[in-house]
Amino acid sequence: MKILVPVKRVLDANVAVRVRPDGSGVELANLKMSMNPFDEIAVEEAIKLKEAGIASEVIAVSIGPVQAADTLRSALAMGADTAILVKTDIAVEPLAVAKILKVLVERQSPDLVIMGKQAIDDDANQTAQMLSALLGWPQAMFASQVTIDGGKATVTREVDGGLETLEMPLPAVISTDLRLNTPRYASLPNVMKAKKKPLEEIEADSLGVSLAPQLKVLNTAEPPARKPGSTVGSVAELVEKLKTEARVL
């Protein structure tokens, strides 16, 4: 079984986000970039399926600038077998990403696509669902447990009321949630080995997918600063403040 895992290069989760002075977006220059945390979980799950003898090959895919090759090398160091970089300097929206992934799925013929449920930069949570619709494949989103057996996938997913278990035939699209697993750290020997693993580069324009943006960011602003707390002298004063200032009573 072959598994395709899309990964995205995003601002590192431990870096403080700063909005550009002109409000056009988030400042990325000279800041640490890393693999999207939800995609790390997807890579880990694909590698676990390979280690269990269920999968034979794990292919990591990224869409972005040349620097996204570093993100793919991280996936290779974790245990992915090969990688594909679709090069573009344009910020690609979820629908265009799904269309590009559809082309790659048709070329690579994987039995399963595992991807993070969302990227921490735009929090769109759209690409997996769109890819499933474009391919006509069954989908299971927000997976907290995945079992593959006999050409079928059994997925436990988190919903508002608790847990829901789905069974679907392969090929399929699965998106990963936080509680699915804990991604491994790549060892130094594996990091060195990753440099020798195949990484194919493809120009995005060659795939026949329009990357023209359909959305326009009008403004980006930081959330309002939290007001400092205050002390009260009595229960009556606390109740009054909860009524008049906090307005929760």
Q: In the chain, how many domains are there?
A: 1
CATH number for the domain that contains residue 164: 3.40.50.620
215-232 residue pLDDT tens: 888 888 888 888 888 888
Q: Rounded to whole angstroms, how far apart are CA atoms 84 and 105?
A: 12
Mean pLDDT of the 27-48 span: 92
Residue 38 has pLDDT above 90, yes or no: yes
pLDDT of residue 214: 87
Report whether 201 contacts 85 (CB < 8 A).
yes
Q: How confident is the model at residue 80 (pLDDT cuts 50, 70, 90)?
A: very high
93-152 residue pLDDT tens: 999 999 999 999 999 999 999 999 999 988 899 999 999 999 999 999 999 999 999 899
pLDDT of residue 223: 82
Share of the chain above pLDDT 90, in %: 71
Containing domain of residue 239, as a range? Answer: 2-246
Mean pLDDT of the 76-92 span: 95
